[in-house]
Amino acid sequence: MTIALIDYGAGNLHSVHNALKAAGAQEIAVTDDPNLVRGARRIVLPGVGAFGACRDGLWAISGMVEALEERVIADGVPFLGICVGMQLLATRGLEHGMHDGLGWIPGEVKGIERTDPAIKVPHMGWNDVVHAHHGDGSELIDEGEAYFLHSYHFQPDEGRHIAAMTDHGGGLVAAVARGNILGVQFHPEKSQQYGLDLLRRFLDWDPQ
């Protein structure tokens, strides 16, 4: 089972690759080749940095967005977005201007509001992940602690697309899901056993 780990110049590829391998993945292709993506059985989109820069990097690969839409949207292949890779699922991001996302899960990516001077932005470090039991994909999310590093957060238009929440001076979305699509704001590759367990469930996931 080939897993396509998308290389668009904006991901923590080495760590994600190692975490997938530790979780039991046998065939992992770090790739920017749309044709390889079309043959993959699972797809992982990492992302570190600003929304607009990540978006531009992904769109700059000729045919990649089209290949992702064919495989994920049309064919229903399981997909995991990590950090900015999760945020790119949104309709748009509002970091340093307005930038269109993939639009697979309607919503916006907005800056974390500092409602209390004691709350630090970026949200960095270990924090609780709590089920949103009404949400799609919540069966993939265990409650526990995961590692976060972000200044912007995904606010879906519909509550049913929220799979998990965390608290940083107020509720922030920790995971989103829709059908065969899962996105996590935290970093599984930095979340030790909690993250490996999530990746194992993703590798076994059959959302059909």
Active site residues: 83, 187, 189
If we measure between CA atoms, which residue out of 2, 8, 1 comes closest to residue 63? Answer: 8
- b/e code 43-65 from CB counts within 10 Å (16+ = b): bbbbbbebbbbbbebbeebeebb
Q: Could you give the CA distance from residue 171 to residue 166 in angstroms, rounded to a whole number?
A: 6
DSSP letter, residue 113: P
**Tell me, what amino acid is at 186?**
F
| Consecutive H or E run containing 37 | helix 34-39
Bridging pattern class, strands 92-93 and 123-131: unpaired
Longest dimension (CA), the chain: 49
Is residue 185 classed as helix, strand or coil in its secondary structure?
A: coil
Angle at CA 144, nearest 5°, toward 140 and 147? Answer: 95
